[in-house]
Amino acid sequence: GWDHPKVKDANEADTDELKPDEEWSAAEDSLSVGNSKALNAIFNGVDQNMFRLIKKCIVAKDAWEILKTTQEGTSKVK
């Protein structure tokens, strides 16, 4: 799934600080656009009841997993 780019420390490890949009690389920007398009498609493909479950998701994969679980159940249910 997509994660918001984070500022790197001196050792090139991610910190908890989110990187400003203006500093994103082309690859980070492309991944963000892909996530936004996927999330938009998911939001537009569900009814109001399903939308209520996923409306706060900012990562498409998270929304998809919630829908998958509600529609198919967990492995314990199967």
pLDDT at residue 72, as a whole number: 85
Asked, for residue 61, whether it belongs to a domain, the answer is yes
Between 12 and 76, name the one with better pLDDT: 12
In a domain, 50, yes or no: yes
Give the CA radius of gyration of the chain.
Answer: 16
Q: Is residue 1 part of a domain?
A: no
Distance CA 43, CA 14 (A): 30
- pLDDT for residue 7 is more than 70: yes
CB atoms within 10 A of CB 63: 23
Residue 73 pLDDT:
75
**Residue 1 to residues 11, 59, 64, 72, 77: CA-CA distances in angstroms?**
24, 7, 10, 20, 25
* Domain count within the chain: 1
Parent domain of 46: 6-72
Over residues 29-43, mean pLDDT? 96
Average pLDDT over residues 49-62: 96
User: How many whole angstroms separate alpha carbon 52 and alpha carbon 70?
Assistant: 12
